Protein backbone atom coordinates (compact mmCIF):
# COMPACT_ATOMS: atom_id res chain seq x y z
CA UNK A 1 0.00 0.00 0.00
CA UNK A 2 1.12 3.53 -0.72
CA UNK A 3 1.62 5.65 2.39
CA UNK A 4 -0.41 8.82 2.89
CA UNK A 5 2.02 11.72 2.52
CA UNK A 6 -0.40 14.10 4.22
CA UNK A 7 -0.49 11.90 7.31
CA UNK A 8 3.29 11.45 7.31
CA UNK A 9 4.06 15.15 6.90
CA UNK A 10 1.29 16.76 8.94
CA UNK A 11 0.00 13.94 11.16
CA UNK A 12 -3.57 14.41 9.91
CA UNK A 13 -5.40 11.94 7.70
CA UNK A 14 -6.45 13.24 4.29
CA UNK A 15 -9.93 12.88 2.80
CA UNK A 16 -8.81 9.84 0.82
CA UNK A 17 -7.22 7.93 3.68
CA UNK A 18 -8.62 4.41 3.75
CA UNK A 19 -9.68 4.30 0.10
CA UNK A 20 -6.83 1.99 -0.94
CA UNK A 21 -7.38 -0.40 1.95
CA UNK A 22 -11.13 -0.32 1.36
CA UNK A 23 -10.68 -1.31 -2.28
CA UNK A 24 -8.35 -4.11 -1.19
CA UNK A 25 -11.01 -5.33 1.27
CA UNK A 26 -13.62 -5.36 -1.51
CA UNK A 27 -11.30 -7.46 -3.67
CA UNK A 28 -10.87 -9.86 -0.74
CA UNK A 29 -14.65 -10.08 -0.33
CA UNK A 30 -15.00 -8.16 2.95
CA UNK A 31 -17.75 -5.75 1.87
CA UNK A 32 -18.74 -4.64 5.37
CA UNK A 33 -15.13 -4.02 6.39
CA UNK A 34 -14.62 -1.97 3.23
CA UNK A 35 -17.57 0.24 4.17
CA UNK A 36 -16.22 0.81 7.68
CA UNK A 37 -12.78 1.59 6.30
CA UNK A 38 -14.03 4.16 3.77
CA UNK A 39 -17.83 4.72 3.56
CA UNK A 40 -17.74 6.50 0.19
CA UNK A 41 -16.14 3.58 -1.65
CA UNK A 42 -19.37 2.17 -3.07
CA UNK A 43 -20.72 5.49 -4.29
CA UNK A 44 -17.33 6.26 -5.83
CA UNK A 45 -17.36 2.96 -7.68
CA UNK A 46 -20.90 3.70 -8.84
CA UNK A 47 -19.92 7.20 -10.01
CA UNK A 48 -16.81 6.03 -11.86
CA UNK A 49 -18.72 3.15 -13.42
CA UNK A 50 -21.55 5.40 -14.57
CA UNK A 51 -19.17 7.98 -16.05
CA UNK A 52 -17.30 5.19 -17.87
CA UNK A 53 -20.49 3.69 -19.30
CA UNK A 54 -21.84 7.14 -20.16
CA UNK A 55 -18.68 7.82 -22.15
CA UNK A 56 -19.64 5.08 -24.61
CA UNK A 57 -23.44 5.30 -24.43
CA UNK A 58 -25.03 8.64 -23.58
CA UNK A 59 -28.04 8.47 -21.31
CA UNK A 60 -30.86 10.95 -21.02
CA UNK A 61 -30.38 13.12 -17.89
CA UNK A 62 -26.88 11.75 -17.40
CA UNK A 63 -25.59 15.14 -16.25
CA UNK A 64 -28.12 15.22 -13.40
CA UNK A 65 -27.19 11.70 -12.36
CA UNK A 66 -23.47 12.48 -12.40
CA UNK A 67 -23.95 15.69 -10.42
CA UNK A 68 -26.16 13.91 -7.87
CA UNK A 69 -23.63 11.10 -7.42
CA UNK A 70 -20.79 13.63 -7.13
CA UNK A 71 -22.67 15.57 -4.43
CA UNK A 72 -23.44 12.37 -2.52
CA UNK A 73 -19.76 11.41 -2.71
CA UNK A 74 -18.68 14.85 -1.55
CA UNK A 75 -21.02 14.70 1.46
CA UNK A 76 -19.85 11.20 2.39
CA UNK A 77 -16.17 12.04 2.01
CA UNK A 78 -16.42 15.30 3.98
CA UNK A 79 -18.57 13.66 6.65
CA UNK A 80 -16.14 10.79 7.03
CA UNK A 81 -13.20 13.21 7.22
CA UNK A 82 -14.88 15.36 9.87
CA UNK A 83 -15.84 12.34 11.98
CA UNK A 84 -12.32 10.85 11.75
CA UNK A 85 -10.61 14.16 12.51
CA UNK A 86 -12.72 15.63 15.26
CA UNK A 87 -14.50 12.74 16.99
Is pLDDT of 39 > 90? Answer: yes
pLDDT of residue 1: 87
Instruction: Let me know: does 39 contact 73? Beta carbons within 8 Å.
Output: no
**Nearest residue to 74 via CA among 6, 15, 12, 4:** 15
Mean pLDDT, all residues of the chain: 94
pLDDT of residue 76: 96
Is pLDDT of 77 > 90? Answer: yes
**Nearest residue to 18 via CA among 67, 59, 77, 82:** 77
Q: What's the rounded mean pLDDT across residues 20-41? A: 96
CA distance 61 to 58: 9
Domain map (residue ranges) of the chain:
5-86
- 0.85 exceeded by pTM: yes
What CA–CA distances, in Å, run from 31 to 21, 45, 57, 59? 12, 13, 29, 29
Amino acid sequence: MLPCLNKKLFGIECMGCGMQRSLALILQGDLVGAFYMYPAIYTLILLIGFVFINYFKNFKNSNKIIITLAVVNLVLILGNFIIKTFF
